[in-house]
Amino acid sequence: DTTVKQNPRYKLARVGKPVNLICSQTMNHDTMYWYQKKPNQAPKLLLFYYDKILNREADTFEKFQSSRPNNSFCSLYIGSAGLEYSAMYLCASSAGHANTEVFFGKGTRLTVV
């Protein structure tokens, strides 16, 4: 099963409130990623876990947190949502070593109001 599952598919959040998005994969992949996709923009890598090590992109370092309690699950946490966080959030996973296929989930569409 090459499936990456994301919950929920749609989420509505209030400005200033926290948001937690969930992702799971059963492929025993070492690496899990979170991407943000806004309309008319390319998917942008926010952060990734290689095993238990979290790597966050420099320009989104303070905006997003993540946790990976076990190999299969990974969450994306926004402490205080702003309007600019409205986007599609794509979770993905790969076998971890360089240049292996990255498998994507269907995404969670977050709308902040």
Give the interface with other proteins as residue ranges (CB under 8 A): 4, 30-31, 33, 35, 40-45, 48, 50, 55, 90, 94-107
Provide, rounded to whole angstroms, the least separation between the CB of residue 86 and other proteins.
18
Residue among 29 and 112 whose Cβ is closer to other proteins: 29
Residue among 43 and 75 whose Cβ is closer to other proteins: 43
Residue among 29 and 78 whose Cβ is closer to other proteins: 29
Provide, rounded to whole angstroms, the least separation between the CB of residue 106 and other proteins.
5
> Position 46: which residue type?
L
Please report the sign of the dihedral spanned by the C-alpha atoms of residue 59, residue 65, residue 69, residue 37.
negative
Provide, rounded to whole angstroms, the least separation between the CB of residue 58 and other proteins.
13
Burial of 110 (0-12, 13-18, 19+ CB in 10 A): buried
Residue among 90 and 112 whose Cβ is closer to other proteins: 90
Of the candidates 64, 44, 41, the one whose C-alpha atom is nearest the C-alpha of residue 54 is 64
Provide, rounded to whole angstroms, the least separation between the CB of residue 80 and other proteins.
25
Alpha carbon 30 to its chain centroid, in Å, reads 15
Beta bridge partner(s), residue 111: 12
